[in-house]
Amino acid sequence: MKKLKYISVMFLAIIFLLAACGSGGQTPGNEATTEETNSSEETLETETAQSVEDRLAGLIKDEYDALEISAAVLERKAILPGSIIPVTVTIKNNGEQTIVYPHGSSSSEIPEALLVDAVGLQPVLSESQLGIATLDMVSNELAPGEELTFVIHVLAIEPNEAFDTYTYELYNESGTHIGNMAWEEIQSKFPDLTTAAPGSFDIHVYFTYYILTEETQADATAVITGYASSDLTVTVTE
């Protein structure tokens, strides 16, 4: 009887060890969660690392010269260090051809085609670019005579490589968009961020596209070939 009991205990011990080795010390659910987290972090790092210059490489400036783009700050008030700067971007098709531009997820208000390079200042991701996005990656057309308007935001602080990460983390933790916070709140939570010094700063906006033709319309693999750009100078006061 004692021998039988001993064998049973050893058998259970072996089963337990095999199960532990097979799972690697993690439950299947935890393992999947870790993989998803790592994948999300890698995607964020890739998007952050890809500069505007990289995305414009190989594209033809003003390939479709009838595409008009302008950028302006319509709010007439002083821009103080640490304040948010709303930039209104207008794109109009003044020609006779239709263009196609990448929008990305249909849930995003700002299309992937619209790029911003704020020299010495910090661009801010829109709230629609945060949180859960739909997976339907789409492209949109801009026909002759049609016009698009978008508002992008720039923060009057020095550029910081971790800013987009802070923006994502803050939104995921509390549902708060960093662009809706006062500078004092932002600085309190992220003390490594620094206000921009008073002075003039150039903001460059770009819009990428390709021209719709019989060939590109029939070709599902059509790629972006051109871009239009506009420059804006803003002044940060003391």
- Helix axis angle for 28-49 and 163-174, nearest 10°, is 140
Could you give phi then psi for residue 212, rounded to 5 degrees? -80, 125
Does 78 share its domain with 99?
yes
Residue owning tokens 């929008």: 103
Position 72 confidence tier, pLDDT thresholds 50, 70, 90? very high
CATH number at residue 169: 2.60.40.10
Whether the predicted pLDDT of 36 surpasses 50: no
- The CB density around residue 116, as the number of other CB atoms within 10 Å, is 20
Residues 36, 141, single domain; the answer is: no
**Cα distances (angstroms) measured from residue 210 to each of 40, 66, 90, 217, 226:** 30, 13, 18, 10, 6
pLDDT of residue 51: 85
Domain that holds residue 18: 2-46
Residues 201 and 124 both lie in one domain:
yes
Same domain, 38 and 62: no
pLDDT at 112: 92
Other beta carbons less than 10 A from residue 54's beta carbon: 9
**Is the pTM higher than 0.95?**
no
Tell whether 142 and 225 lie within a shared domain. Answer: yes
